[in-house]
Structure 1
């Protein structure tokens, strides 16, 4: 009776703090994204330094990486940077000669909404505000020519900011699709594990039957979930997908990985495993970089990010949905790694809870 009471109290306590943990993690991760813009990696392409670039560096506007144009374009494509700032070869000359030539020195900002719609908006707003402030300062410094045709340079927009969008997305829903495809797939696998497996699980079975019942059948059901989700998207939700064929096998890999991890934890630690899966869900919601770039979160969330399977499913879905990329090798290999870890844990669960118990019963009956 004491054991039952202790378990009941422990369960109630765990359930009671779920909202606290969930709110703390999610709100903590997104508490001040604008305050962490300086952590966003941005490539700089400039043939020579200039006063404007020095000001960006001094103000620590972004985490700048000086690169060649080719390297910068590749890094933006791969999501290693979130934008590129390009200064023309004539930028310095145009800046110095502006009182005479009136040619605006131009900064070109290349962004990719496919990497993060909200993150891109933050980058654009930050750069727009910086250019506005820089124009005020430059207008006060640049001398006005003593001619009747001279513009009032102290009130002029001297710098020009040009934006080039590399991977535009239709709306915020399209940008969030990689996150929600991942999250709903994970939740769907939890439902399969918690409810359907309870009805079909059997004791005292061989390893082969155990694997079929505990993993293969749930995995097949998860494929049905994937088919229904993609069908609903095609006919009703209508999120445009750049790689509609390739997303099918990748989605199946994601589902296999999720169901492998969830089932394994539930089987290895009955009861407590469900709480661990719930905690994993909360961590992935806050730390997988699905809504904002992970660089806009705190250090703890950035550290956790690399160890979450949804981090890599979201990255892969971004490439297939908005970035028109087929470079999935990195994400796929890591997901396969998570899948294999889940399979090893499931094997351990079999030998711990099924195989030993069966041998013990056989030995008892033989006596």
Structure 2
């Protein structure tokens, strides 16, 4: 059968329909001026988690700096030290991000959120390392590798295989990335991400506190003997 093309109407409307059968009627709410704006949240989240793990190689998460009088004092002393380092690395990374020319809607908001994320991440690493030592460091490193692909960095979570999409909400970096996107591109804090990260912070810090309380009660005699000798 020979196609009959001579009879096709060639008015302007028909030609335009074939040339552009579909038109985009969407509205752009937040246009990114540079590619690095989309990558910065992912890179910052990874850097802060890796930095939290590196802190565990610099600071002994178990050995108290001074003889503790209680498990809470032991925990508070260690957490204060590593949290201070977490704040320092968050400020440094935020400033480097700005110096490298990444457009940031609010530098102040970026620094505040980075500090919050950094403290949350060191609280997570502290539990692993305090309880499990070298094995904990290995598990924390493994957790970083798991989060590389499942937290909406390289690919949106919606494009991940259906079988692993349910894991993403259980990973802290998922909320760190979402929070950084909001802070960097909009200059606003994402309430849902902050709440989720706060829950991670409270749960892991509380678990670490329980570990120190239990460990102190078991080693109370050793601490008392050491204190009496030094006195």
> When the two structures are superposed, what TM-score results if normalisation uses the length of structure 1?
0.54
| Structure 2 counterpart SS, 1:332 | helix
Gap change, CA 1:300 and 1:160, over 3 Å in 2? closer
Of residues 63, 73, 81, the one that matches 1:217 is 81
Q: Distance in 2 between matches of 1:280 and 1:296?
A: 21
User: Quick check: 2:94–2:114 contact (8 Å CA) kept in 1?
Assistant: no
User: Quick check: 2:106–2:183 contact (8 Å CA) kept in 1?
Assistant: yes
| Structure 2 counterpart SS, 1:197 | coil
Residue 360 of structure 1 deviates from its aligned partner by 6.2
Residue 158 of structure 1 deviates from its aligned partner by 4.5
Matched, 1:233 2:97: yes
User: Quick check: 2:149–2:155 contact (8 Å CA) kept in 1?
Assistant: no
Matched, 1:278 2:130: no
Which structure carries more relative contact order (alpha carbon 8 Å, separation 6+)?
2
User: Quick check: 1:144–1:152 contact (8 Å CA) kept in 2?
Assistant: no
Root-mean-square deviation (Å): 3.0
Q: Distance in 2 between matches of 1:219 and 1:361?
A: 25
Q: Which has the higher helix share?
A: 2
Bigger shift: 311-320 or 203-212? 203-212
User: Quick check: 1:144–1:153 contact (8 Å CA) kept in 2?
Assistant: no
The residue correspondences of 1:162-177 to structure 2 (distance < 5 A) are 162=24, 164-177=27-40
For residues 313-336 of structure 1, give each alpha carbon's deviation from its aligned partner in whole angstroms, at most 9, with x where no partner exists.
1101101112x1525221111111
Q: Distance in 2 between matches of 1:225 and 1:200?
A: 23
The residue correspondences of 1:88-167 to structure 2 (distance < 5 A) are 144-145=8-9, 150=11, 153=14, 156-162=18-24, 164-167=27-30
Q: Distance in 2 between matches of 1:229 and 1:193?
A: 18
- Give the match for residue 162 of structure 2: 299
For residues 172-194 of structure 1, give each alpha carbon's deviation from its aligned partner in whole angstroms, at most 9, with x where no partner exists.
22211001111101111111122
- Give the match for residue 123 of structure 2: 260
Q: Distance in 2 between matches of 1:247 and 1:169?
A: 17
User: Quick check: 1:179–1:290 contact (8 Å CA) kept in 2?
Assistant: yes
Gap change, CA 1:257 and 1:276, over 3 Å in 2? same
Of residues 170, 173, 191, the one that matches 1:310 is 173
Q: Which runs of 5+ in 1 are unaligned?
A: 1-139
For residues 95-115 of structure 1, give each alpha carbon's deviation from its aligned partner in whole angstroms, at most 9, with x where no partner exists.
xxxxxxxxxxxxxxxxxxxxx
Q: Distance in 2 between matches of 1:152 and 1:252?
A: 58
Larger Rg: 1
Q: Distance in 1 between matches of 2:174 and 2:8?
A: 54
> When the two structures are superposed, what TM-score results if normalisation uses the length of structure 2?
0.82
Q: Which runs of 5+ in 2 are unaligned?
A: none
For residues 164-215 of structure 1, give each alpha carbon's deviation from its aligned partner in whole angstroms, at most 9, with x where no partner exists.
4321212322211001111101111111122233697448523344224321
